[in-house]
Amino acid sequence: MINDKQVLYSGMQATGNLTIGNYLGALKNWLTLNEEYECFFGVMDLHSLTVRQNPAEFRKKAKNLFILYIAAGLDPKKNCIYFQSHVSAHAELAWLLNCFTYVGELNRMTQFKDKAAKHKDNINAGLFTYPVLMAADILLYQADFVPVGKDQKQHLEITRDIAERVNAVYGDVFTVPEPFFGKAGTKIMSLQEPTQKMSKSDENPNGSIYLMDDPDTIVRKFKRAVTDSFSEIRYSEEQPGVSNLLEIYSACSGTPIADAEKEFEGRGYGEFKEAVAEAVISVLKPMQDEYARLSGEKAYIDGLIRENDEKAAYYANKTLRKVRKKMGLNEIPR
Ligand code: TRP
């Protein structure tokens, strides 16, 4: 508990361009959580280093993610939005937790297996211990809740196992976090392969709408979006392409899916796709304007980063001191 509120923790890796899938599926649902919870949202830049990064680009990407969080509507005074790498307790706790994590359980992580298969030339130890760093992120803040998508569920489970293992040895050290099922985020699929999740690291840029895409690009991508051969705008499993477009339209316009089906009854795909593009543009445009404005306010942004880093470090170091003591590391008064 912090300020009599339960703690909620989440974050995104600082790689790739965020897509409307990241926004509609996660970020949008984070915006009001601070009313009920003490919220921490990280720019997970240490995790990003499991893949080779160009230093200059990487520095920009991570900062852009921070600005984007705020442009999307996360209030940096009411949420602790900070850089994972600026709080050294993350790396330190990750080491300590490494000693309480079994190779066997890491070997069972499906994301590791997938990533190792994709990046055969760089199967580094960081990729293998990725879930341990993630456990450190969450446990440092004694988080009660972690909103995660399906792909991160296994990582939250191992976090709980590690927390319980440490608690069993040393007594009450960590809060064991629960998955957070708030209002379900919308799962957005690729526009080109509607049975696959829209991904920020997709090789085909036409499959994803990036938060920074300009209106022309958005219109063009929707025009090319894969539909189905039923020539009917209806939400159904046999029509993954059309259903995905309906989801996007509904999430961006606030129209329930059933109403949207009626709205487009008897109308063609062309018209429908234009309407979807318009709805998306109306959501992204204000965000992009705010992003551009904030990007010009360097001193203000740096001030926010400093402030939030400090707040995060305060809570993280409190937990780290407790863990060090429980594990029997020497403390010498200075
Ligand atoms: N692994 C998460 C992802 O790729 C990002 C992440 C890192 C995270 N640490 C976290 C998410 C802690 C929630 C909590 O989406």
Contact 159 CB / ligand 1 (< 6 Å): no
- Neighbouring C-alpha atoms within 13 Å toward the C-beta of 325: 10
Residue 109's closest CA among 145, 173, 161? 161
Given this model, what pLDDT does residue 157 score?
98
Given a cut of 50, the residues of the chain with pLDDT beneath it are: none
Asked whether residue 192 is domain-assigned, the answer is no
Distance 202 CA to ligand 1 centre (A): 19
Give the residues across from 43 on adjacent strands: 12, 83
**DSSP for residue 54:** -
Residues 164 and 308 reside in one and the same domain: yes
Query: Which numbered atom of ligand 1 lies nearest the CA of 133?
Result: 9
Given this model, what pLDDT does residue 255 score?
94
Which residue, by CA, sits nearest to atom 10 of ligand 1?
134
Q: Which residue is associated with the tokens 């990241």?
A: 22
Asked whether residue 193 is domain-assigned, the answer is no
Which residue, by CA, sits nearest to atom 5 of ligand 1?
12
Residue 280: CB atoms within 10 A of its CB come to 25
Given this model, what pLDDT does residue 40 score?
98
Domain count, the chain: 2
Asked whether residue 76 is domain-assigned, the answer is yes
Asked whether residue 74 is domain-assigned, the answer is yes
200: annotated active-site residue: yes
Q: Give CA–CA dist 109/113, Å, rounded.
A: 7
CATH number of domain containing 63? 3.40.50.620
Where does the chain have alpha helices with state H? 20-22, 28-30, 45-48, 55-71, 89-98, 103-107, 110-118, 125-128, 130-140, 153-170, 215-224, 240-253, 257-263, 269-295, 298-327
* Domain enclosing residue 249, as ranges: 205-293
pLDDT tens digits, one per residue of 297-325: 999 999 999 999 999 999 999 999 999 99
Residues 50 and 171 reside in one and the same domain: yes
Q: Out of 28, 61, 63, 197, pick the active-site residue.
A: 197
Contact 10 CB / ligand 1 (< 6 Å): yes
Contact 11 CB / ligand 1 (< 6 Å): yes
Asked whether residue 190 is domain-assigned, the answer is no
Token output for 284? 């992204």
Residues 180 and 34 reside in one and the same domain: yes
Residues 108 and 220 reside in one and the same domain: no
Asked whether residue 333 is domain-assigned, the answer is no
**DSSP for residue 141:** T
Residues 230 and 272 reside in one and the same domain: yes
Distance 11 CA to ligand 1 centre (A): 5
Residues 231 and 312 reside in one and the same domain: no
Given this model, what pLDDT does residue 184 score?
64
Give the residues across from 260 on adjacent strands: none
Contact 44 CB / ligand 1 (< 6 Å): yes
CATH number of domain containing 242? 1.10.240.10
